[in-house]
Amino acid sequence: MIPWMAWRLHRRGLIGFGVGGFLISFLYGAAFTQAAGSTAESQAAFGRAVLLVAKQFAFIIPVPVHPETLGGYEQYKWLSGAIILMMIWAGLAGVGIGRGDEDRGLTDQWIAAGVSRTRLLLARSAAFGLVLLVACFASVLGIVAVAPIVHQDPNFWGEMGKALSMATGIFAGFAIALLIAQLPAERQTATALGVGALVLLLIVNGIADTIDSASWIGVVSPFHWMERTTSAAPGGTFDLGATLGLAVAGAALLGAVIPIFQRRDIGSGLFTWGRRAGAAVRVASRNLMLRMPFTEGIWEQRVGLSVWVVSTLLLGSLMVSVTKSMGDALFSDPKLAALFQGAAPGPRYAALLGIVWFGIALLLLAGYAVVQVSRWSAQDQEGRVEMLLSAPISRTRVVIERALEFAVASLLIVIGGYIGVASKVPSSGLNLDAGHVFTASALLWPFALAFGGLGVAVASRWPRIAVPFLAAFAVIEYILGDLAPLFKLPDWMANLSIFHLYGNPVVGDLSWTPAISMALVFVAGFGAALVLMKQRDVSSA
Amino acid sequence: MTAAIRTQGLTKDFGGGRGLFDLDLEVAEGEVFGYLGPNGAGKSTTIRLLMGLIHASQGSASVFGLDAIGQSVEVKRLVGFVPGELPQFGGLRGRDIVGHFGALRGGVDQKRVKEITERFDLDLGLKFRQYSSGNKRKLGIVLAFMHRPKLLILDEPSSGLDPLNQQEFFKLVQEAQAAGATVFLSSHVLSEVEHVCQRVGIIRRGELVKVARLEDLHEMHVRRVEVEFAGDAQPHLFDHLPGIENVKSNHHRITFTMRGSFEPIVDALAGHHVVNVTSHEPSLEEVFLTYYEDDPKEAAS
């Protein structure tokens, strides 16, 4: 039962994080000597540079250990990010198992078939745990596989230890989300609280890592205990106590879920608030947002969209405020300054802001595109498109409304980011050109549109695979953009990455080519969506 | 007069013998037409073709003379639709959903919405996910009827409604017809269409096997016959007799359905010690089932 559940219910995650994890660690490993050079001296200099820059990001990603080695570099460059991505996956899986199965009627069916609640919960959790374990091991096996090619230590047992630590820590995160999912009345609230709690624990760990007087609060975060194992780097440590502690915590949290799951009603949380009292409503809403074209979609996602806009605004502001200190530290060493200028030419602080903020903004917008496509995909599969087309509106209008909805929503996020950055620049001491900051911010919009265009095309014809497709596409594009300079790929090939195409417009003269190219991707995607939507059969079944 | 619905050779082939094949059907304006068939017979496929949601492999479908695919938007201005399964509207409230779909149709007739929601006791203030399956079905009925469409296409509309609400729904359909609307109502339950339909079409395995007025179904020459023997029943006597189906024997008694003349039966029974022979008109339900019973599995469903 458990292997069946693991494959049937988590196969996309398994393929994405397992196969994808292996390939990404392999690719980053293959690029190691391109980035660090092949001599011990150049690798040591590279390690020092990475260490210096990494200290500025310690809030999100832990300071690397032996980044001059393949394992240390991968632990910093890939595995730290992979842990965050997998933790979000675990959070969604925890809520999905806790409440999503109930919404889909699966829990009813299993219980009706005579499976006890305890057995069901344990079997579903074990299935996810199995998939997680495979994905974690696959993510480090790419390092082991690529090591002989780049003449580095495969560090097999160290990598295995790191994978084990990751699996236990992320499983503990899964159990936290599963526990939280039992409490609120509605699944959407459970999702927000479950995933939100894991993000909070990431922030708590970041505070503990960067503020000495608050280091004690890190003990509540699984990220803290995972960080204690650094064995992916040769010479790093495997913290057996921390790993065992995470395993015990995961099991204990799972044990705490069982009585709650047994007590509450299927389809409801442990805490249910009283239903609305008062007279029944017998008339339709007069909300203008529901009446105008495309604004219904904006209205429906108003809370989530507000979170995106405000988060982007705050993050933009935060990143501008740390760029000066980061640059001061980096540029005080002439060798590192030269190394940086070689990689990112132009005014130094502006170039650094381009990497520190606009690089992150690109990832945020690609992430938003995936979220939006997942919304369309769900609407299609749940029969919303079928119902929409039962009203006198054309398929063309459905596609146009999606495109407009995405364009407006992504523009709001871009504006939020710009306000955050522009409001902080004058007091940051960065001496940036306001026009360049505006241009770089404005170009984020066609970047988002390019992703949205592809998303709307795929979602119009193949809604079931639209999310994994766009997510995989975003990862491939990012890695291509990241590795293209290291492998010295020709421009035409590097520009296949929209991330690379965007470039670093906060420095240098404005070029219309990237903006036009990205807009063309949007137009092409949108045009394809119009054709594909017309041809397909719409069916929720 | 233009037919409300007309299909010619309409085919949707999903492969493996599944789909809809060569459907020729005409529903007159102002008629309430019942579209009957077991699960998976092709009812929803027909409806999706009429609604322009899926493309025909062959043939054509038109609604009030408008092509169901090419003039899909114009068609749907005239149609009210209850899908077999209402979509998930998640956190939207009932009033938001009605407001949104009303706006897509050019405006909401609040008076009409109020009238229908009161009749079905539906609270539009609740979030969609808080609705029971019956209330979701009622919301679907509000969305279909609120703009007084010329044609109502209803896919198993009363499933999930309690008997009182079912009665209310049948009244609504009758009122719509009285106001000049045409109704195309699909169901796998005869009793659902019996209340309101003038004609029914029976579909099985993607093929239309019968179109008849309800009273014609009653009048079909299908009889259920029971023969009681003095000794053991002898079912072999009826082997290969024309028009004899569903032969069942039990000790001294044999039952079967028959179409056509009694003469072959009388000939077969000659010389045997028969105690009693009874013949009666089948109920409408039994007539209906004879079209399903070609496949015992479908009859059971």
Q: What residues does each domain of chain B span? A: 5-217, 220-300
Contact in structure between A182 and A257 (CB atoms under 8 Å):
yes
Dihedrals phi, psi of B67, to nearest 5 degrees: -65, 130
CA distance A434 to A457: 36
Distance in Å, alpha carbon of B278 to nearest chain A alpha carbon: 46
Using a 10 angstrom Cβ sphere, with 0-12 exposed, 13-18 middle and 19 or more buried, the burial of residue A237 is middle
Q: β-pairing, B151-155 with B79-82? A: parallel
- pLDDT tens digits, one per residue of A1-58: 677 777 788 888 888 899 999 999 999 999 898 888 889 999 998 898 888 777 767 7
CB-based contact A283 B52, cutoff 8 Å:
no
Same domain, A462 and A527: yes
Q: Which residues of A touch B98 (CB under 8 A)?
A: 284-285
More confident residue, A371 or A245: A245
Dihedrals phi, psi of A509, to nearest 5 degrees: -80, 155
Which member of B44, B73, B99 has the closest CB to residue A394?
A: B73
The residue among A255, A271, A287 that closes a domain is A271
pLDDT at B297 over 90: no
Q: Does B109 contact chain A (CB < 8 Å)?
A: no
The residue among A239, A271, A303 that closes a domain is A271
pLDDT at residue A452, rounded to an integer: 94
The pLDDT-based confidence of A541 (bands split at 50, 70, 90) is very low
Q: β-pairing, B5-15 with B79-82? A: unpaired
Which member of B51, B91, B121 has the closest CB to residue A188?
A: B91
The amino acid sitting at A207 is I
Distance in Å, alpha carbon of B55 to nearest chain A alpha carbon: 6
Residue of A nearest to B112 (CA): A283
The residue among A271, A287, A317 that closes a domain is A271
pLDDT at residue A140, rounded to an integer: 96
- Which of the residues B47, B101, B145, B184 would you substitute to probe the A interface, choosing the one with the greatest number of A C-beta atoms within 10 Å? B101
**A536: Cβ–Cβ under 8 A, 6 or more apart, which residues?**
A460, A461
- Quick one: average pLDDT of B167-180? 95
Same domain, A246 and A305: no
Provide the H-helix boundaries in A213-358: 222-227, 240-263, 295-300, 302-331, 334-343, 348-353
Distance in Å, alpha carbon of A173 to nearest chain B alpha carbon: 27
Q: Does B53 contact chain A (CB < 8 Å)?
A: yes
Pick among 3.40.1160.10, 2.40.160.20, 1.20.200.10, 3.40.50.300: CATH of B5-217: 3.40.50.300
- pLDDT tens digits, one per residue of B208-255: 988 988 877 665 557 788 999 988 888 888 888 888 888 888 889 999
Share of chain A above pLDDT 70, in %: 98
The pLDDT-based confidence of B88 (bands split at 50, 70, 90) is confident
- pLDDT tens digits, one per residue of A129-155: 999 999 999 999 999 999 999 999 999
Same CATH fold, B220-300 and B5-217?
no
Which member of B100, B123, B129 has the closest CB to residue A290?
A: B100
Q: Which residues of B touch A281 (CB under 8 A)?
A: 93-95, 123-125
CB-based contact B95 A281, cutoff 8 Å:
yes
Same domain, A308 and A257: no
Same domain, A238 and A366: no
CB-based contact B124 A282, cutoff 8 Å:
yes
Same domain, A220 and A168: yes
Same domain, A14 and A137: yes
Distance in Å, alpha carbon of B53 to nearest chain A alpha carbon: 5
More confident residue, B261 or A169: A169
pLDDT at residue A325, rounded to an integer: 81
Which member of B87, B99, B123 has the closest CB to residue A290?
A: B99
Contact in structure between A42 and A36 (CB atoms under 8 Å):
yes
CA dihedral (B136, B141, B142, B146) in degrees, to 10, reads 160
Same domain, A239 and A379: no
Contact in structure between A73 and A67 (CB atoms under 8 Å):
yes
CB-based contact A383 B101, cutoff 8 Å:
no
Classify residue A279: in a domain, yes or no: no
- Quick one: average pLDDT of B25-29? 96
CA distance A458 to B111: 41
CB-based contact B96 A285, cutoff 8 Å:
yes
Q: Which residues of B touch A278 (CB under 8 A)?
A: 125
The domain tally of chain A equals: 2
Structural domain including A149 reads 1-271
Lowest mean pLDDT among A92-106, A524-538, B46-60, B121-135: A92-106
CATH of region B220-300: 3.30.70.980
Same domain, A396 and A266: no
CB-based contact A280 B76, cutoff 8 Å:
no
pLDDT at residue A359, rounded to an integer: 87
Residue of B nearest to A387 (CA): B87
Q: Which residues of A touch B19 (CB under 8 A)?
A: none
Q: Which residues of A touch B85 (CB under 8 A)?
A: 383, 540
Q: Which residues of A touch B104 (CB under 8 A)?
A: 388, 391-393
- The chain-wide mean pLDDT, for chain A, equals 89
